[in-house]
Amino acid sequence: MKTVAIIGLLAVAACAHTPVYSAAQVEAIMQPLAYEQQIVRKCDEAATIADADNFLASLRGDAAEQAAEILSFITLEVAEGEAEYVCTVELYYSTQERADDARALWATLKGNS
């Protein structure tokens, strides 16, 4: 009983530090990170870049569901795209830039929470 109570307190404590993101913020962060993850997976290294997954894991409730939908959609979109068109140098670098912006936004929002 005591153990359950401690775990419960820890969970509440963890939730208390979870930033609350608006739907627009979730999209602004998750979309670029998901594209980065999937394009790298398809076009370069098989290893997954973890930021998209980490962001998803940091969310709760509706925000988590929204982010999961975005990641799922982008995963399919990239998977079914022809590599000839998806794996271009221009697309890769622009995706990186947007992902960097998303990471900066994520860091800012975390810092503000």
Binding site for other proteins (CB under 8 A): 38, 41-46, 64-65, 68-73, 75-76, 78-83, 87-90, 92
Q: Which is nearer to other proteins, 73 or 108 (CB)?
A: 73
Q: Which is nearer to other proteins, 25 or 75 (CB)?
A: 75
**Nearest-5° angle of CA 110, CA 45, CA 107?**
10
Q: Which is nearer to other proteins, 31 or 106 (CB)?
A: 31
Q: What is the maximum alpha-carbon separation in the chain?
A: 58
Cβ(2)–Cβ(45) under 8 Å?
A: no
Cα(51)–Cα(38) distance, integer angstroms? 11
- Give the CA count within 13 Å in the CB-facing half-sphere of 32: 18
Q: How far is the CB of 12 from other proteins (least distance, A)?
A: 22
Cα(48)–Cα(12) distance, integer angstroms? 30
DSSP 58: T
Q: How far is the CB of 80 from other proteins (least distance, A)?
A: 4
Q: How far is the CB of 18 from other proteins (least distance, A)?
A: 16
Q: Which is nearer to other proteins, 42 or 103 (CB)?
A: 42
